[in-house]
Copies of this chain bind each other. A is one copy, B any other.
Amino acid sequence: MATIRDVAKLAGVSVATISRYLNKNGYVNEETKLRVEQAIKTLQYEPNAMARGLAGRKTGTIALIFPDITNPFFAELARAVEDVARMYGYTVILCNSDNQADKEQTYIRVLKQRYVDGILFASYSLRSDDVDALNNEKIPFIMLDRAPRETSCTVVSSKHLEGAQQAVQHLLDEGCTKIAHIYGPQDTVTGRERFMGYEQSVKHFPWYSPSLVEPGYFRVDGGMEAVENLMKRHPDIDGIFAGNDTMAVGALKKLQRMGVRVPDQVALCGFDGIDLTVIVEPEITTVAQSIYDMGMLSTRLLIKKIEGDNSEDQTHLFDVKLIPRESTRRKRKE
């Protein structure tokens, strides 16, 4: 492997010149530039990222910390992140936290050692003193779907509350008269806000009762169990709003097994907009987030920050969009 010194020698200039040429800072005479380019080509020179990192403290690496790549939502996010990272010449390190604070802790430590240029957090378990620490150490980061209380930082998120309200409204529009909610973990912004959206939309109805909600842990089996409990308590439910698509899929599965017809007997709406919803039959109505776009934006913001953008921290809120599908297509009353 050729080094910068070899190139310098061959081009008849000093290493400093090569370095300047490579980093496009400082002036380089047109003529010598040509010679340098020539030398680089004939030597097939590739700068060594490691040495660069040591000397210049930039590694061209960003990390993505999230719960679990196996979750389609995060897989799509990861895909977006990797795509734009590559576009900007960055490489991405994958970190599954399983929402365990200690795993996250370890990761942050390791990532610091490796001098990652920045971190993208899409994990729920980050404690707010961690955020402070990051801020203090001046390592750039972005939060996805999570706004720590005090510390300022830039966050990218969706209009969860509004989306939940849209979901409920849609269910009502389709003629539902008793709507239940399967909610996600309440220690997550997403789980909480969607719950609130549901609550606010239904609490003034005479049929509303707190026993119309059931936890589903953002998981398929959670959704299945929730439906079972719900239908036992309220056999007359005719609409279900699941806090995410995964639970919606579980709900659908259980309903079908119980012989409940969807959407005629019970209409079903999810949240997120992952592909799973169109894989099942009937396809599930959902409130879609712009997952890929969120991933793109947050990566762009992160890279901007890394490259010296010092503008104010902001919160970027993405619109959500209800996508009506078969699981809520009920015969309308005229």
Q: Which A residues form the contact surface with B (CB < 8 A)?
A: 46-51, 53-54, 59-61, 68-70, 72, 75-76, 78-79, 82-83, 91-96, 109-115, 220, 249, 252-253, 256-257, 276, 279-281
Q: Are A114 and B49 in contact (CB under 8 A)?
A: yes
Contacts of A48 in B (CB 8 A): 54, 113, 115
Indicate how many identical chains form the complex: 2
Contact partner of A110 among B91, B111, B256, B257, CB < 8 A? Answer: B91
The chain B residue sitting closest to A292, CB to CB, is B70
Given known pairs A279-B253, A279-B280, the reply for A59 and B69 (CB within 8 Å) is: no
CB-nearest residue of chain B relative to A256?
A: B281
User: Smallest Cβ distance from A61 to chain B, in angstroms?
Assistant: 8
Besides A48-B54, A70-B72, A93-B93, 20 more A-B contacts (Cβ < 8 Å) are: A46-B109, A46-B112, A50-B54, A61-B93, A70-B76, A72-B72, A72-B75, A75-B75, A82-B94, A83-B96, A91-B110, A91-B111, A92-B93, A92-B94, A94-B94, A253-B281, A256-B281, A276-B279, A279-B280, A281-B281
Chain A contact residues: over half helix, strand or loop, or mixed? helix
Cβ-defined partner of A79 (8 Å) among B60, B68, B79, B113? B68
| 24 A-B contact pairs sorted by A residue (CB < 8 Å) | A46-B112, A48-B113, A49-B113, A49-B115, A50-B50, A50-B53, A50-B115, A53-B53, A68-B79, A70-B72, A70-B79, A72-B72, A72-B75, A82-B94, A82-B95, A91-B93, A91-B111, A91-B114, A253-B281, A256-B281, A276-B276, A276-B279, A279-B279, A281-B281
Check if A257 sits within 8 Å of B281, measured CB to CB: yes
- By a CB distance below 8 angstroms, the chain B residues around A70 are 72, 75-76, 79
**With the chains together, A253 CA to B281 CA distance in Å?**
7
**From residue A150, how far is it (CB to closest CB) to chain B in Å?**
24
- Nearest first, the 3 closest Cβ-Cβ pairs linking A and B are A50-B53, A49-B114, A49-B113
Set of chain B residues within 8 Å of A249, measured between Cβ atoms: 279
CB atoms of A69 and B46 under 8 A apart: no
By a CB distance below 8 angstroms, the chain B residues around A93 are 61, 91-94
Given contacts A91-B93, A93-B94, is CB(A113)–CB(B59) below 8 Å? no
